[in-house]
Amino acid sequence: MIGDQKILFSGMQATGTLTLGNYLGALKNWLELSDEYECFYSVVDLHSITVRQDPAELRKRARNLLTLYIAAGLDPKKNCIYYQSHVSGHAELAWILNCFTYMGELNRMTQFKDKAAKHADNINSGLYTYPVLMAADILLYQADVVPVGKDQMQHLELTRDIAQRFNAIYGDVFTVPEAYLGKVGAKIMSLQEPTKKMSKSDENANASIYLMDDPDTIIRKFKRAVTDSEACVRYSENQPGIRNLIDIYCACTGKTPEETEKEFDGKGYGDFKMAVGESVVSVLKPVQERFADLSKDKAYIDGIIKENAEKANYYATKTLRKVQKKVGFPERIR
Ligand code: ATP
Ligand code: LTN
């Protein structure tokens, strides 16, 4: 707890350009939770280098991502928006937790298996211990709740196991976090292969809507979206393409699938695709405008980066010192 509020931690990697999936599935949830919790939203750049990165590109993407958190509506005065690499406690706690995590546990992580297969030329030990760093992120702030997508559930379970193991040896040191899975329908699928999730690392640019796509591009991508042959707007398992478009439309307009079916009863796919495209444009437009304005204000963003790194460091150090003492490191002489 900080004051009388529970603590929330989440983060995103600055790899690739964010998609509508990241926005509707993650960022938008973060906004809804930000009043209820004391929130830490990190740009997890330590995680990013588990895959080889171009340094200039990584720096630029990380700044864009941090700016985008704010452009999406997270208030940086209330939410601690910061770079993971600016708080050395993440790496320090990760080292300690590595000594409380079994190789058998890490061997079971499916994301490691997937990424190792994808980057066969660079299976480094950081990629292997990635989940321990993620556990350190969460436990460092004593987070009660962690909003994540389904793909990260295995890592969150591991975090809970590590916390419980540590607490069983040393007493109540860590809060054991709960996952917060967003609402159903928050999984946005590819526009080209609607049985696959929309992903920022998809090679086909038509499969994803990027947050910075201009209105014409957005409309064009929706016009080309793969649909089915039934030619009616119905929310059914048999029409994954249309179902995905309905999910997107509902997420952007607040309507329900039933209302959407009624609205487009008797109309063709062309009209519907156009409406979906327009609803997305109207959701993304203000975010894009705020992003453009914020990007121009270097001093403002720099101020946020500095202030929030200090705030994050304060809370991180509190936990870290406690943990260091518990495991038997000598006290610092002041
Ligand atoms: P990559 O393509 O590099 O695997 P990604 O687009 O899947 O990236 P992540 O960085 O793994 O995105 O995830 C950031 C957040 O966005 C996570 O909380 C994840 O659950 C969420 N997310 C990613 N893709 C989608 C999607 N298609 N629908 C809903 N949420 C998503
Ligand atoms: N592994 C996550 C990003 C991430 C994270 C975290 C999410 C790193 N540390 C802590 C929640 C809490 C991903 O790839 N989406």
List the CATH number of the domain containing 124.
Answer: 3.40.50.620
pLDDT category at 200 given cuts 50, 70, 90 is confident
Q: Which residue has the higher pLDDT, 192 or 231?
A: 192
Asked whether residue 160 falls in the same domain as residue 282, the answer is no
Flag the least confident range among 31-40, 182-191, 260-269, 316-325: 182-191
Report yes or no: 269 and 233 within 8 Å, Cβ to Cβ. Answer: yes
What residues act catalytically? 115, 197, 200
Looking at residues 244-266, what average pLDDT do you find?
95
**Within a domain: 44:** yes
pLDDT reading at 50 higher than 90: yes
Average pLDDT, integer, range 168-196:
88
Residue with tokens 């079994």: 102
Query: Residue 63: in which H helix or E strand, if any?
Result: helix 55-71
Please check the confidence at residue 182 and state whether its pLDDT lies above 90.
no
Q: Is 171 within a domain?
A: yes
| Number of domain units in the chain | 2
Q: 236 and 106 share a domain?
A: no
Identify whether residues 152 and 228 lie together within a single domain: no
CA-wise closest residue to 166 among 317, 324, 39: 324
Same domain, 286 and 302: no
- Alpha-carbon distance of 162 to 178, in angstroms, equals 13
What is the pLDDT averaged over residues 25-47?
Answer: 93
With 90 as the cut, is the pLDDT of residue 186 above it? no
In this structure, the residues whose C-beta lies within 6 A of any atom of ligand 1 are 12-13, 15-16, 19, 21-22, 25-26, 148-149, 151, 186-188, 197-201
Q: Which two tokens stand for residue 233?
A: 């707007």
Q: Which helix (H) or strand (E) holds 179?
A: strand 178-180
Query: Does the structure show a pLDDT above 70 at 185?
Result: no
- Let me know how long the chain is: 334
Task: Give the Å distances, CA to CA, from 25 to 1, 29, 135, 187, 193.
Answer: 26, 7, 21, 6, 18
Each residue's pLDDT tens digit, 1-27: 888 999 999 999 988 789 999 999 889
Residues 6+ apart with CB under 8 A from 329: none
Distance 61 CA to ligand 2 centre (A): 16
Distance (Å, rounded) from C-alpha 259 to C-alpha 246?
10
Q: What percent of the chain has pLDDT over 90?
A: 86
Domain range enclosing 162: 6-180+298-327
> What's residue 181's pLDDT?
82
At 302, which amino acid appears?
D
Nearest ligand (C-alpha, residue 182): 1
